[in-house]
Structure 1
């Protein structure tokens, strides 16, 4: 008898959806574009055509611990991006999802680290980046351009340029080789909020296990994802695999909608016309859906959403629930593929009233399957599960970066005592749930005590006139740091500093926070700066407002 050593590789996901859900739909409907629909059977054919093109262009397979040909992609959430998600890893090459929201210099920096040989680029929106990239990245041998508007590149470059649709249409179906599951499947870079972006790789094995674990978590209440659902990922596909959804959602048998470039009126239209019941994204995306001028025209009842990337403010949760949505928190990092926790409900939560249930849904959650999670002090000892003692989240799972490329010191600092240290400050609750209280770098250290900027943001967000809020620690001559709140009012609303302070004083009187947590200053701003992944850019705020409390 011959033994078959089954490898956990991306093509196995494609095999499953072909055998179990061959007729399930995938829709691509970009803003100002036409609707395209494929079945999974047709999608499989397209994936293998794209794989055939990659092989024709000389793409080589990698092996355990060594990436194959790097294939860079600059695009929005498109069907063709979905095709590349499968085609590139399935031939043993490595998919490099370029964060298009980085500054051009940072994009060029990450590409010179990654050294891609093939570049797939959406020229409808990213044509201005083509010449700078080609003038500074010497590894690229072919450019494959993609367009929803039948455009061709304006700029001449010194490598061969090919049209994605013309070239793939000529191809037959490629067969996928047997790969070692430890072969690098994707190459990602962090968003660079504390310095230059850092890169790392995710293996086939890690991504397959991550996909299975994600489905195991989202079938739990209150999301209860079923194969009758329609999902529209509102996490960019260039950002941490769109939280793994291009791989995990097909395993659930759902219909998938790719919306192209994010335009919020268009997103609302797609939710209605495609009957979307599940999505995920950062808090700013949920706020955009709720606050868009067209939003009142659309019925959002029954839409389920997982919020990650930043804390889910209580005020935003209240607004979503008022529209009939179900919203819970999730948590993860670029380094962790990303999902680590989801705040699903246990059976004992079934009888909770609305407010008590929200308190569970707003937590960071419970570890998903195959994640070991601790909250540790500076000596790597577990903090008590009292909901008060703050420590750092440390994790183990099969899908974490093993190293940061070219940065031994950062790798060593993250991997201590066999645990990956996330840099997130959290408390452990008596019932086992974890709740992030801040990034370790964002905790306000006042007089030797910690103030949670996330907790203050959460409470400020419940003021009816607040649209968005960020709390930062600002240097103070006496206390070391003190909290300062930057607040954006809702459209047409007026806010003053004293309105926010009075609002917080109510929570002080109720015992929710101590009086010394009150911000020393509240600054009303028109908007808050965002990072490339849609989070509030606190580094930028600290740089701008770092001297507002300095004594004259």
Structure 2
């Protein structure tokens, strides 16, 4: 591939018509720059496979041109159903290169849920991993798919059914670079379907501009550099991997891919590849803490660990930093390209005790450098007092907010009511301007007229030495309407009784906030590690009138 072409492909007529002081913002430009600067550098490590950025570029262009030859046109949707893999990274560049829209689907969904997403998005082409062949087979007859491209091993190909292997499909394309088919930076680049923790998933539309800016924000806020090595403990199908699919490439850093989180494998790769960055929900951090390679283990080099997905208990942060990790706490939603806020650290906090630092890092913080618009408001969109106590809804707008919900104008209008995106999350504004999440609107417990933050109770539970994970919900009560109940997963080899857990909470909380009941066992979770409290509520409130807050 001729490197000089990378400097020429951006000069086509559609872009040349822009003012000299402007260029269209698209993350596709990140790959071009990295190909120009680091062509021979290892860009992707996926098991035994190691690709230089030159090879990545060739494969991306082959994918893009092969899709075009297969009839995919600008604006068409291409669905991807696969665990983390080099092919999924390539799709993040190859699909939008021809102006098409990537739809990355959660691999843990049921066949009917996958079918609903493919049908709603209108995708005609599906790139699927062979390990999910049974899922695909069950939905093929119900969907109008013109082509299925199989990645991985062990799946027979049937050309009569429009099926082909990924490597064979790449051979039908050309490695020669060409200008991306992007003429509007507000053009949709991906559609990400919400996790479905509360109901029917909605298709969240990201733009080239938003993805570009969010990726730059990740570089700034998490310290990505060309020397960085990023381990994919976060699913790429989740908010396009919080846009790290594009950010790591933009930095010229190395992607190290794992299909799922297995602590032993994570520790092995951290050492072998000298991993500097990884992301994950607090549950991922809990998994790592509970399966250390050896007593007293510490990471061999500083490991920037970015966590989000649920408010991380200070105890989890404290234990992780005790292993030598540097925690960056971020917060956001699918509708905000993943992270929208970061608990921006201040040097004057360094001298505090580790427990105090962990409590500070548990706050959700301030808007990203490119997305500072963030407020905590009451029902009339008035700012609540910045006293760290008065709760309101967290709202945001600007560069980091979705374009809207695909084919759902009513839901889009409701989400954007009053000119701000409504997160549905309740929080407080501290005097220093840092936001702290207190609960989801639907999760707040109203017991005898008193509001109880489930997050506050969970933070206390996580400090109990026998508790590995915990979730708190409101359950029916004849006298108080509802009262807190804790669902607790104990650490391996540890034991605790209901009375012990309740007594521990009563030592640290007002008594009305403490769980009245405790149930031990594993917690139901989404594929990204979020506890599915709605499943716990459904069981506890079966046959009861639903709460209305």
Q: TM-score, normalized by length of structure 2?
A: 0.91
Of residues 50, 53, 57, the one that matches 2:63 is: 50
* Deviation for aligned residue 1:111: 0.9
Query: Which of 528, 534, 544 is the aligned partner of 2:539?
Result: 544
Q: CA deviation at 1:293?
A: 6.4
CA distance in 2, matches of 1:145, 1:102: 18
Q: Hey, what does 2:332 align to over in structure 1?
A: 332
Using the alignment, how far apart are the partners of 2:89 and 2:180 within structure 1?
20
1:530 aligns with 2:537: no
1:183 matched residue in structure 2:
187
Gaps of 5+ in 2: 1-15
Change (3 A) 1:546 1:424: same
CA deviation after TM superposition for structure 1 residue 158, in Å? 5.9
Is 2:169 the counterpart of 1:167?
A: yes
Cα–Cα, structure 1 residues 549 and 353, in superposed 2: closer, same or farther, change >3 Å?
A: farther
Contact 1:10 1:89 in 2 (8 A): no
Alpha-carbon distance, 1:298 to partner = 6.0
Query: What are the within-5 Å matches in structure 2 for residues 421-432 of structure 1?
Result: 421-432=422-433
Q: Which moved more, 1:352-361 or 1:239-248?
A: 352-361
Distance 1:93 1:127 in 2: 24
- Tell me the residue number matched to 1:153: 156
Describe the shift of the 1:95–1:549 C-alpha distance in structure 2 as closer, same or farther (beyond 3 A).
closer
2:404 alignment partner, SS class: coil
Partner of 1:141: 146
Residue 501 to residue 269, structure 1, CA distance change in 2 (3 Å)? same
- Select between 474-483 and 464-473 the one with higher mean Cα deviation: 474-483
1:452 corresponds to 2:453: yes
**Alignment partner of 1:266 is 2:236:** no
- Structure-2 residue corresponding to 1:208: 212
Size of the alignment, in residue pairs?
Answer: 524
CA drift of 1:231 comes to: 1.1
User: For residues 236-251 of structure 1, what are the structure 2 equivalents within 5 Å?
Assistant: 236-251=235-250
CA separation of 1:349 and 1:47: change in aligned 2, threshold 3 A: same
Cα offset for 1:256? 1.7
The CA distance in 2 between the partners of 1:297 and 1:233, in whole Å, is: 25
How large is the RMSD of aligned CA atoms in angstroms?
2.2
Cα deviations by residue, 1:300-346 (Å, 9 ceiling, x for unpaired)? 25222111111112222232122222223211111111110111202
Q: Distance in 1 between matches of 2:107 and 2:83?
A: 9
Structure 2 residue aligned with 1:314:
314
Asked if the contact 1:330/1:343 (under 8 Å) is kept, the reply is: yes
Match of 1:199 in 2: 203
**How far 1:19 sits from its partner (Å)?**
3.0
Paired residue secondary structure (1:441): helix
Q: Does 1:105 align with 2:105?
A: no
Cα distance in 2 for partners of 1:482, 1:349 equals: 37
Going from structure 1 to structure 2, the CA distance change for 1:101 and 1:157 (only over 3 Å counts) comes to farther
Counterpart of 1:65?
Answer: none
**Contact residue 218 and residue 344 of structure 1 kept, 8 A:** no
What is the distance in 1 between the residues matched to 2:66 and 2:413? Answer: 40
Distance 1:360 1:212, change over 3 A: same
Moved more, 11-20 or 386-395: 11-20
Q: 8 Å contact 1:234–1:280 — kept in the other structure?
A: yes
Partner SS state of residue 48, structure 1 = helix
> Please, which moves more after superposition, 345-354 or 227-236?
345-354
Distance 1:87 1:318 in 2: 41
3-state SS of paired residue (2:341): strand
Preserved contact between residue 483 and residue 518 of structure 1 (Cα < 8 Å): yes
Q: Answer yes or no: is the 8 Å Cα contact 1:282–1:534 preserved in 2.
A: yes
Question: For residue 401 of structure 2, what is the aligned residue in structure 1?
Answer: 400
The alignment partner of 2:495 has SS state of: coil
**Are positions 1:285 and 2:292 aligned together?**
no
Change (3 A) 1:120 1:145: same
Deviation per residue, 1:346-388 (Å, 9 max, x gap):
2333433322222221111221023200001111111111110
Who is 1:126 aligned against?
132
Contact 2:314 2:355 in 1 (8 A): no
SS in 2 for 1:417: helix
TM-score using structure 1 length: 0.90
Q: Residue 244 of structure 1: CA displacement? A: 0.8
Aligned to 2:7: none
Alignment partner of 1:19 is 2:36: yes
Q: Deviations over 1:11-38 (max 9, x none)?
A: 21112222333343223334xxxx2112
Structure 1 residue 163: Cα displacement: 1.2
Partners of 2:307 and 2:262 lie apart in 1 by 19
1:374 touches 1:394 (CA, 8 Å); kept in 2?
yes
Structure 1 residues 548 and 497: alpha-carbon distance in aligned structure 2, compared to 1, 3 A threshold? farther
